[in-house]
Each structure stands twice: as structure tokens, then as C-alpha cells.
Amino acid sequence: MSDIRDLYQQLILDHGRHPRNKQHIDGASYVQVGNNRLCGDKLVVYANEQDGRIEKLCFEGEGCAISMASASLMTEALQGKTLDEAQDLLQRFLRMLQGETVDETGLGKLMVLHGVCDYPARVKCASLSWRALEAALAGQNGDVTTE
């Protein structure tokens, strides 16, 4: 069990230090700002949609390792998914962070963030990019905050 925890820890640190898809998208279909004042995490999520599919998903911003790792893992997990598939994964991931038992199908690497649910302050960090994407896809205006 501790070996698996080490592996999870390493994956989070790796994505936290070297986030994937951390770049701006010009003229993105969806743009949403997320703000977690409690920790100081601030990011912008960009998504391009084509034929009902998220063909490109990126983010920019600064924050703690958990917020960066979660955003990085999100872009990897949801890029190429249909909007329905993305919504399904997004909702299950957020419920998992709240400590609920969820169907783990397709969550894959995202399960490394499961341990975060024991730390309410960290849950806000881990869910920030996902809440931003959720709001973006729902067409909400204004910044997303974790308060």
C-alpha cells in the first residue's frame, strides 16, 4: 500500500512541477477563470470544442502543487472526450473529492488525487480547475471561486 502511495505522490509532484498543456489558447470556445483565495491558486481554463468534442484543453496560472497537478491531469484526461463524457468524468471526479464512493471507470490516473478528500482545504485546490471547466461548459459568466 505504501508503494502505491509513493507512486501517487510522485505523479502529483511530477504534474505539479511540470504541468502538461499549460498554455494559452487564442480564441478558445470556452474560457473560465478560477480563484482559490484560501490558498492563492489562480488559473484560467481554456477549451476548444469541435463537433461536440473537447479537441483541445489547456490552462494557465499559478498555484500550489495540488492545484497545478489537478489541472494538468484534467487536461490529459478530458482532451479528446465528447462533452457528455467530459461532464460524466468531471462530476464523478468532483464527487470522489468530496469523499463519495464513485464508479472509477475511466478515471484512471485521476485516482491519484483520491487521498486529497481527507484534507478539506486541499479539496478546494484539487477541484479548482474542474469547477472552472464545469462553469465554462455550463456557459456561466464571472470567475469561479472556491468560497
Which positions touch Zn ion (CB under 5 A)?
A: 39, 41, 64, 67, 125
Minimum CB distance to Zn ion, residue 17 (Å): 14
- Beta pairing, strands 30-36 & 144-145: parallel
Minimum CB distance to Zn ion, residue 64 (Å): 3
User: CB-wise, 64 or 90, nearer to Zn ion?
Assistant: 64
Minimum CB distance to Zn ion, residue 7 (Å): 22
Minimum CB distance to Zn ion, residue 48 (Å): 26
Minimum CB distance to Zn ion, residue 124 (Å): 7
Residue 97 φ then ψ, to 5°: -65, -25
Q: Can you say how many angstroms the Cα of residue 110 is from the centroid of all Cα atoms in its chain?
A: 9
User: CB-wise, 67 or 127, nearer to Zn ion?
Assistant: 67
State the alpha helices, DSSP H only, in the chain: 2-17, 65-78, 83-97, 120-137
Handedness of CA 135, 141, 144, 147 (dihedral sign): negative
User: CB-wise, 54 or 74, nearer to Zn ion?
Assistant: 74
User: CB-wise, 75 or 129, nearer to Zn ion?
Assistant: 129
The one-letter code for the residue type at 76 is E
- Cβ neighbors of 41 (< 8 A, separation 6 or more) are 34, 35, 61, 62, 63, 64, 67, 125, 128
User: CB-wise, 55 or 62, nearer to Zn ion?
Assistant: 62
